[in-house]
Structure 1
Amino acid sequence: MTGARKLLTRADLEPLAHAALGPARRLTAVTRLRGGSKKGVYRLTFDDRRTAIAYVWSPDEDYWNSGAGESDPRAPFSHASGIDLFTAAHDRLADLGVRTPRLLLADRTGRHLPADAAVVEDVRGGTLEEALQRDPDPAKAILERLAEALEAMRAHATRAFGKVALVDGGGTSHGTSCAEVVRDRALLDIAEAAGRDARIAGACEALDERIRNLTSAVRPRDHHTLIHGELGPDHVLIDAHGHPVLIDIEGLMYFDPEWEHVFLELRFGRHYDVLRSRGPALDEDRLRLYRLAMRLSLVAGPLRLLDGDFPDREFMRDIAEHNLQQALSLLRNAS
């Protein structure tokens, strides 16, 4: 999409807001929140000063919709967007006692808005990322509660792997193992990034070989645990009682916990130790494969997003550049 995107207005969202919270409240303001690349996230403000959040899944809200947004539910890393993925993830986490924003309305009818949409509670305590930047010591208690939530998720194991909506519905994913799925994704990421950056192109053969060698060292595993898949401190809100609240949950899946922990290590940095101390025993062979594959994903994905009209372009370039350097460093250190 090359033209200017149409943001939803108060008039657009009023029917949805009334369906979720009743006609007695008057919607007075609508604000699209920053950061969303797959769905629109709007704060709804009412005349009694209460607020709620609307999630909207539509092509105008999805910056990945230039072809990369095509979704195969049997592919664990396919486009993690849509109301069915959201509600399946929400219900699974709620069953486990893991806090997410309370669901007020899930609407697939198109009667209130010409798109799938949901309305959830507005958790106003800021993000864990902001709390850690302000003062890490008080935030440690929230980290410990987050570790407890991850422990509850890990305790829910299945033999199958893949997105929660698929597996909980009795489906099976493509591929014979998580490691194989990660390998194939990494090889695709190398090829895509090589077409956009000469440095990856120059290291393409060496990266391919390294990914294949790392995969061959991974031993089979017959169980998988529940993971968020993209759990950075910006995807954790803090409620009024100081409890962590997980958001952007559409990618929730059953997978190797090493994939989650590679991302946690990357995003939480020096604060990761609190999460690791309550974590499972991790397989070093998987960690080596997943660390390189994760870096390659965080090069190819942002570069792909920059092919379109994603607005925060410098931020996305910085992510791609940082992870490109890290991927090449992992390759050099292996030789």
Structure 2
Amino acid sequence: MTRAFLRPDDVRDLVAEQFGADRRPAALDRLTGGSKKGVYRLRLDDATSVILYVWATAENYWPPSPAVEDDPFTDASGAGLFAVNHAALTAAGVRVPRLLMLDRDGRHLGADLALVEDAGATTLEALMERDPAAADRPLSALGDALRRMHTTLGPSYGRLADLSGGRDRPRPAEDVVTDRALAHLAAVATRDARMGRAHDRVAAHVRRLRAEVAPRRRYGLVHGELGPDHVLVTPEGEPVLIDFEGLTYFDVEWEHAWLRMRFEDAYPALRPVDLDPHRLELYRYAQVLSLIEGPLRIAGTDFPGRDWMLELAEWNIAKALAVL
């Protein structure tokens, strides 16, 4: 499959409508990292820039994925989720790119799209690698933002857009994670011989972890897959959260299992809230299985980062088998 991405001429009318007939697109650069939507830096002829998000089939590399009942994390993408989650994070006092325009009617480009503030090209991940001392301030501010999110409580777990009708979910969140982990295991067992041979032992380990988790019904706002590559840092050192379409009310241990993995030695700088260690370990192992299933699935497409995805799957296969 050959994908045709947007060019400056494609957004000329959009620029004229949003910024005035005397403004022109000077460049349109598709940014790396966008696998479910197109993310473009739109540079205008007055040396300003904005970020363009495009939710279109041609921009989405992901094939269908295993889904279980009440799973709020599968296929979390779309302009509707973006709009609701943007408003929720703003209300919680969390810095996100300012929303300039949202089009859900396909008036431009025949797809849903949004224009947002260009908060810069420096990610927290790059800053941590290049200048760890300079990362101290945004890490601390990110920890503050996370505590605001994780203490913003909801009546049930699930995507914010799905909870507007007041629906409660009788199944415990830990059962959703367990079923999700077992579905991912079943999928990878058919793609990797080592996981196929270890299927029963891995499944038994997942169930043992689930058995250790005590009942609880308390759900905070979680990003879903927050790594330092999903945080931009402004020239003033302010952290800005991006890629938040997976925002959901859920157990905060889900977030912290991911944060521990992605931030590694810098994780304590986030000053996390109190966590249930048994719930945390179940969620950590479930995410390991997810990071085998997802990369192997997208590696079977035309995604340009195929080799990196295969390396990520290999790394997590080793982690999944090491505990047996």
Instruction: Confirm or deny a common fold (TM above 0.5).
Output: yes
| Pairing of 1:21-32 with structure 2 (within 5 A) | 21-32=19-30
Q: Distance in 1 between matches of 2:67 and 2:218?
A: 25
Q: Deviations over 1:235-292 (max 9, x none)?
A: 00012321100000000011111110010000001000111x2x22111110111111
Match of 1:150 among 146, 151, 170: 146
Q: Distance in 1 between matches of 2:211 and 2:35?
A: 34
Contact kept, 8 Å, 2:157 with 2:169, in 1: the verdict is no
State the one-letter code of the partner of 1:94. Answer: T
Match of 1:126 among 116, 122, 125: 122
In structure 2, the residue matched to 1:212 is 207
Contact kept, 8 Å, 1:143 with 1:274, in 2: the verdict is yes
* In the alignment, structure 1 residue 67 sits paired with structure 2 residue 60: no
In structure 2, the residue matched to 1:12 is 10
* In the alignment, structure 1 residue 80 sits paired with structure 2 residue 84: no
In structure 2, the residue matched to 1:221 is 216
* In the alignment, structure 1 residue 295 sits paired with structure 2 residue 292: no
Deviation, structure 1 residue 21: 2.8
Structure 2: gaps spanning 5 or more residues: none
Q: TM-score, normalised by structure 2?
A: 0.96
State the one-letter code of the partner of 2:177. Answer: V
Contact kept, 8 Å, 2:50 with 2:115, in 1: the verdict is yes
Q: Distance in 2 between matches of 1:252 and 1:313?
A: 26
What SS does the corresponding residue of 1:89 show, helix, strand or coil? helix
Contact kept, 8 Å, 2:14 with 2:108, in 1: the verdict is yes
State the one-letter code of the partner of 1:53. Answer: I
State the one-letter code of the partner of 1:254. Answer: Y
Q: TM-score, normalised by structure 1?
A: 0.93
Structure 1: gaps spanning 5 or more residues: none
Q: Distance in 1 between matches of 2:68 and 2:186?
A: 20
Q: Distance in 1 between matches of 2:238 and 2:106?
A: 34
State the one-letter code of the partner of 2:140. Answer: E
In structure 1, the residue matched to 2:108 is 112
Q: Distance in 2 between matches of 1:91 and 1:183?
A: 30
In structure 2, the residue matched to 1:284 is 277
Q: Distance in 1 between matches of 2:95 and 2:202?
A: 39
Q: Deviations over 1:165-212 (max 9, x none)?
A: 222x13537661210110010000000011110111011001111111
In structure 1, the residue matched to 2:31 is 33
Q: Distance in 2 between matches of 1:166 and 1:72?
A: 16
**What RMSD, in angstroms, separates the aligned Cα atoms of the two structures?**
1.7
Q: Distance in 2 between matches of 1:205 and 1:153?
A: 37
Q: Distance in 2 between matches of 1:71 and 1:243?
A: 36
| Structure 1 residues 84 and 8, CA gap change in structure 2 (3 angstroms) | same
In structure 2, the residue matched to 1:271 is 266
Contact kept, 8 Å, 2:79 with 2:112, in 1: the verdict is yes
Contact kept, 8 Å, 2:68 with 2:180, in 1: the verdict is no
In structure 2, the residue matched to 1:89 is 85
Match of 1:46 among 44, 47, 50: 44
Contact kept, 8 Å, 2:67 with 2:180, in 1: the verdict is no
State the one-letter code of the partner of 1:266. Answer: M
State the one-letter code of the partner of 2:167. Answer: T
Q: Distance in 1 between matches of 2:69 and 2:57?
A: 18
In structure 2, the residue matched to 1:187 is 182
What SS does the corresponding residue of 1:199 show, helix, strand or coil? helix
Q: Deviations over 1:27-79 (max 9, x none)?
A: 11111111111000011010101000100001100001x333x9999531220
Contact kept, 8 Å, 1:25 with 1:46, in 2: the verdict is yes
Q: Distance in 1 between matches of 2:18 and 2:251?
A: 37
Contact kept, 8 Å, 2:155 with 2:168, in 1: the verdict is no
Q: Distance in 1 between matches of 2:23 and 2:68?
A: 40
In structure 1, the residue matched to 2:315 is 322
Q: Distance in 1 between matches of 2:312 and 2:61?
A: 16
Aligned residue pairs total 324
Deviation, structure 1 residue 318: 1.0
